A and B are shown apart, each in its own frame.
Chain A
């Protein structure tokens, strides 16, 4: 079946540090891949997405590239801010019209 494996947290960083959250997937066909973010006390928001191999999604300084050969969609940001503290979810939209989520990674950025 379809699944998403995400780097476990929590992750604690200093401001301006480099952030990477690993995400790999298992799926049949050609799924679309997403990163969602959940800020404290808020609902989930789409951060970025990629719908086909080699696509790069980007938003708010975050980037992730859809790598079919390694079945990965790692999230990166070159210089994090305190406001980036949140829970990040990798997700996969499969051919059976369902969105499967990774376990979530809690990121805390300290000033």
Chain B
């Protein structure tokens, strides 16, 4: 199955700054990638579906101007948290659908001070 890698695994930033998280599909050409957010001791919530070469599809309640998604190639999607605030602190996870299964990256833990 697909191998998905995220970078960075952990990032700490100051309030008001922007942070970019990369998601790479290492051995699979992914036209679609999914971005999830996981709060402590809670489930994963789908934020958006990233489509290669076109605009991402955001779930209801997710601010598209806050969470910028770019899927410029079949192996890379990026999530940029703009003007981050402490409430944006969370675990962000990307995934790729391949042959009937979702494969997940290791996740990126964002802490906004």
Contacts and interface: CB of A to CB of B under 8 A. Distances in A.
Interface residues of B, number: 19
Contacts of B43: 89, 101-104
A99 B34 contact: yes
B107 A32 contact: no
Q: How large is the interface on A (under 10, 10 to 19, 20 to 34, 35 or more residues)?
A: 20 to 34
Contacts, number: 44
B106 to A, nearest CB: 4
B70 to A, nearest CB: 20
A102 B102 CA distance: 15
Interface in A88-111: 89, 93, 97-104, 106
A51 B42 contact: no
Given A42-B106, A44-B93, A32 B44 contact: no
A102 B43 CA distance: 6
Interface in B68-113: 93, 95, 97, 100-107
Interface in A23-65: 32, 34, 36, 42-46, 49, 51
A45 B104 CA distance: 7
Interface string B39-69: 0011111100100000000000000000000
Contacts of A44: 44, 93, 95, 104
A44 B101 CA distance: 12
Contacts of B102: 34, 46, 93, 99
Interface of B: 34, 41-46, 49, 93, 95, 97, 100-107
